[in-house]
């Protein structure tokens, strides 16, 4: 028997549990520990609420969670309720699957003004993460500026642009639905510090902007390279750039009704955020590309009026005391997932915040291979019973997967018409929904 503790119940955590089941069969016990009383991490609180088909992957994790050798140990904070050295003492392998839920800092003057938020906070707000439920972003005013040219920037711009009807069937939380459909910016600007060929956006996500009822995506044709140069792009980026070319090619029939511009501002790097006590404008510097394709400042600046700035420039993994950390890359220092004897990292905590949800699956199998190679199946560790005793002695109110199923039932019962669920946005409310 091997005893494995996985910290974090998002995709990387569940794929690791699944891989351990496949590798060791009945001869493994996996405890998936999460500080939240609810599982699935990024699937619940990161994936956009209007992308329900992507969220459907949690059904696969549920099958893993309901098997006898995998447990969900929710509402347990590693570092507070139990430490990494204690877990290493109890388990053969401890796997950090803590993701990358912290925003990378924008690092420009004024970035700490009220009205400037990171995408982790903004996405957490509309997805009902308890840490961000009280965010109350400023939605009415001259502009929302979204910094970054990745898929998170697209999620944020799309959610800011949608009407109430366009949220039908989504599980956007009530507080965000009310706020977003009652208020609006005059314009949404996506600031990309490089050009159309350097975007980190994917075609499907970019194409969605073309079908919004009140918003009109626009691209300055002068920013687009000659069409013949698209041939050098990988097929995905080429398709995405084709959408940008279509956005540059307006007006089109029906555009009159679309009064909310989503402006793609390419070669545009924010250099300061200004305002009297809160954000009023973003100072942007024009860039050009150098021979290596990097953004170089040109010295030309201009101001974009804004009441809200959402920085979507990537994420980092939170530090855990005593665990080596790579400052530059914003994740745990590791060698192919190995951190120290018995200690591993998987998913975004290992690789950094890139790739799709499915990218985490091979990651989980890699870690299961490491565990097979590094540990023996006749473990002297005690695993579950001693963790339970330790947590009970500390008065920790552990949430099980069965408890989560009660919470989920209550969320489904609370759903508004047509929505799959209305999420609890406070930990106490989640705990109170247990039978």
Round to whole Å and give the CA distance between 123 and 129. 8
Neighbours of 66 (CB within 10 A): 12
Q: How many residues does the chain have?
A: 435
Q: Which pair of tokens denotes residue 40? A: 């699935």
Both tokens of residue 337? 């997932």
* DSSP string covering 221-264: GGGSPPGGGGGGS-HHHHHHHHHHHHHHS---TTGGG--EEEEE
CA dist 113 and 278 (Å) reads: 5
Binding residues among 341-360 for ligand NAP as defined by CB under 6 A? 353-356
Distance CA 22, CA 46 (A): 27
Task: Looking at residues 162 to 201 of the shown chain, list those that interact with ligand NAP (rule: CB under 6 A).
Answer: 193-194, 198, 200
Site string for ligand NAP, 390-429 (x = CB under 6 A): ----------------------------------------
Only one of the segments 152-160, 246-254, 277-285, 336-344 lies at the binding site for ligand NAP (rule: CB under 6 A); that segment is: 152-160
Which element (helix H / strand E) includes 145? strand 144-147
> Smallest distance from the beta carbon of 354 to ligand NAP, in angstroms?
4
Residue with the two structure tokens 């799309």: 158
Which position among 110, 115, 314, 347 is part of the footprint of ligand NAP (CB under 6 A)? 314
Min dist. Cβ of residue 205 to ligand NAP (A): 5
- Looking at the Cβ atoms of 78 and 295, the one nearer to ligand NAP is 295
Nearest to 318 by CA among 132, 103, 59: 103
Q: Which residue among 17, 212, 312, 323 contacts ligand NAP (CB under 6 A)?
A: 312
d(CA 122, CA 113): 15
At closest approach, how far in Å is the CB of 309 from ligand NAP? Answer: 11
Closest approach of ligand NAP to the CB of residue 189, in Å:
13
Comparing every residue's Cβ against ligand NAP, the nearest one is: 150
Residue 48: CA count within 13 A, CB half-sphere: 17
Of 59-78, binders to ligand NAP (CB under 6 A) are none
E-strand spans in 52-112?
70-74, 93-96, 102-103
Q: Which member of 30, 94, 152, 387 binds ligand NAP (CB under 6 A)? A: 152
Helix (H, G, I), strand (E, B) or coil at 186: coil
Question: Of residues 252-311, which lie at the interface with ligand NAP (CB under 6 A)?
Answer: 269, 295
Identity of the residue, 150 or 342, whose beta carbon is nearer to ligand NAP in the bound complex: 150
Residue whose tokens read 């599980």: 171
Q: Which of 149, 187, 188, 309 binds ligand NAP (CB under 6 A)?
A: 149
Q: Which residue from 82, 263, 313, 367 is in contact with ligand NAP, where contact means CB under 6 A? A: 313
Residues in contact with ligand NAP, counted by CB under 6 A, come to a total of 23
Candidates 130, 150, 275, 342: give the one binding ligand NAP (CB under 6 A).
150
Minimum distance of ligand NAP from residue 157's CB (angstroms): 11
For residue 123, report the phi and psi dihedrals to the nearest 5 degrees: -65, -40
C-beta of 170: minimal distance to ligand NAP in Å? 14
Give the separation between CA 433 and CA 435, rounded to whole angstroms.
6
Q: Which residues bind ligand NAP (CB under 6 A)?
A: 147-153, 155, 193-194, 198, 200, 202, 205, 269, 295, 312-314, 353-356
């Amino acid at each position: 028997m091997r005893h494995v503790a996985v910290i974090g119940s998002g995709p990387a955590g569940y794929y690791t549990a699944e891989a351990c089941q496949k590798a060791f069969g009945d001869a493994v016990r996996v405890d998936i520990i999460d500080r939240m009383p609810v599982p699935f991490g990024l699937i619940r609180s990161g994936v956009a609420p209007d992308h329900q088909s992507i969220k459907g992957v949690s059904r696969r994790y549920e099958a893993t969670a309901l098997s006898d050798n995998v447990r969900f140990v929710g509402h347990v904070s590693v570092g507070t309720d139990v430490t990494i050295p204690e877990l290493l003492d109890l388990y053969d392998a401890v796997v950090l699957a803590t993701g990358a839920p912290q925003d990378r800092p924008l690092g420009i003057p004024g970035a700490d003004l009220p009205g400037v938020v990171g995408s982790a906070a903004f996405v957490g707000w509309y997805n009902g993460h308890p840490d961000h439920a009280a965010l109350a972003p400023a939605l009415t005013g001259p502009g929302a500026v979204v910094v970054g040219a990745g898929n998170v920037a697209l999620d944020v711009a799309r959610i800011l642009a949608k009407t109430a009807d366009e949220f039908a069937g989504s599980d956007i939380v009530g507080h965000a639905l009310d706020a977003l459909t009652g208020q609006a910016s005059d314009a949404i600007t996506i600031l990309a510090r490089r050009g159309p060929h350097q975007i980190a956006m994917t075609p499907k996500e970019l194409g969605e902007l073309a079908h919004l009822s009140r918003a009109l995506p626009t691209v300055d044709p002068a920013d687009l390279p000659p069409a013949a140069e698209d041939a050098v792009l990988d097929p995905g980026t080429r398709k995405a750039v084709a959408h940008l070319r279509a956005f540059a090619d307006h007006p089109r029939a029906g555009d009159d009704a679309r009064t909310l511009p989503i402006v793609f501002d390419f070669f545009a790097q924010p250099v300061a955020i200004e305002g009297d006590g809160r954000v009023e404008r973003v100072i942007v510097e024009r860039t050009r590309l150098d021979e290596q394709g990097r953004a170089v400042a040109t010295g030309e600046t201009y101001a974009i009026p804004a009441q809200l700035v959402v920085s979507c420039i990537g994420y980092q993994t939170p530090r855990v005391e005593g665990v080596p950390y790579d400052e530059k890359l914003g994740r745990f220092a590791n060698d192919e997932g190995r951190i120290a004897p018995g200690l591993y990292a998987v998913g975004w905590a290992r690789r950094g915040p890139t790739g799709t949800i499915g990218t985490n699956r091979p990651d989980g199998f890699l870690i299961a291979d490491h565990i097979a190679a590094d540990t023996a199946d006749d473990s002297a560790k005690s695993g579950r019973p001693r963790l339970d005793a330790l947590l009970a002695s500390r008065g920790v109110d552990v949430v099980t997967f069965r408890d989560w199923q009660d919470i989920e039932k209550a969320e489904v019962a609370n759903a508004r018409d047509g929505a799959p669920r209305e999420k609890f946005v406070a930990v106490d409310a989640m705990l109170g929904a247990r039978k």
